Structure 1
């Protein structure tokens, strides 16, 4: 299959596949004389595994380390993915029941205990993450914690204040287009801070992080404290920023 066919099949962009090739994460089976990438069935199976790991929040660098490790077992990984997704489904189903009951409660159709109001919420350690750590190592997961752990009290306070200032700047321009000069300048400061304190963020990782700000209710709630809709605005501004960091040649190529 050619790159456009694979992109359509997997529901991702051609640009994403070219980027995976560029960083050595997913090399096509061959490239034709005219420069077209051709993907094999084995490539498709690897892509499926990459997308499973992405869905579970793994950074691309860590995914590459995992799937290119000689000890990597695809079947074992799929069984872990299935286990986690079933747990995620169970929690979502429980939260849906809590939402439905809360709606009835607000309409005066039923009563609700304090415990029932919070049924389904669980912000404890992700069991999948623990299992993944044991199987594939802690390096990528622990990098941010290691860096923060090296800061003293004053440095942590200064970092907290710097983060708050950036959030306030972003909140002040959240009603502007995400690709506006003001928005991109503010989000650029956020990108610089993350790389300075929390790890090495590629543009793709930065973009995926923005998506998590919206999909993870904990992130969204904390970010939106600085202004309603800020998490969504940051996601969109981070996507624009990330795309602009990629080489122009990659954007123009259609091969």
Structure 2
């Protein structure tokens, strides 16, 4: 199956599938003809499991630990239940404060965070908020990175295919075409290196 067929069958976007590949959860084979990824039913089954566990809020890193048998299923579920209980308590506290603010005569300009213990909330949830913002930034950068990878793979496949056709006909690419294609590929790799550097910086 192609990645598009898997995307339609499982209901997971291509960018997410590629992300799971980078995370080591998925290892599709490559076509010997064009080096494209070829997905098996086993890959689809793994994606279905990932989709289910992610819907429960299980982090990708924990799914990888589970797949590598570095943690038992029971242990992971127990840890996740504790995490969800903590999040539930934090949300209930946030709900209470929001209800209190709703009953008061507050605006953005006269809001006094000290009155509603905002600092306590930030100490509890601030790290998660900042982490969520970083994850969103990383996700956007990873999406750009995947587009560049797709572009490089497409250009490589087209250039290779046309080269084979031309060689069979006794023709060769003009030098300027080869140089131009190489320049485009180098430029794409440079942009990708910059994006990967930004992702690495956000992941620290």
TM category, shorter = 0.3 to 0.5
Name the TM-score, length of structure 1 as normaliser. Answer: 0.38
Name the TM-score, length of structure 2 as normaliser. Answer: 0.46
Greater radius of gyration (CA): 2
* Bigger share in helix: 2
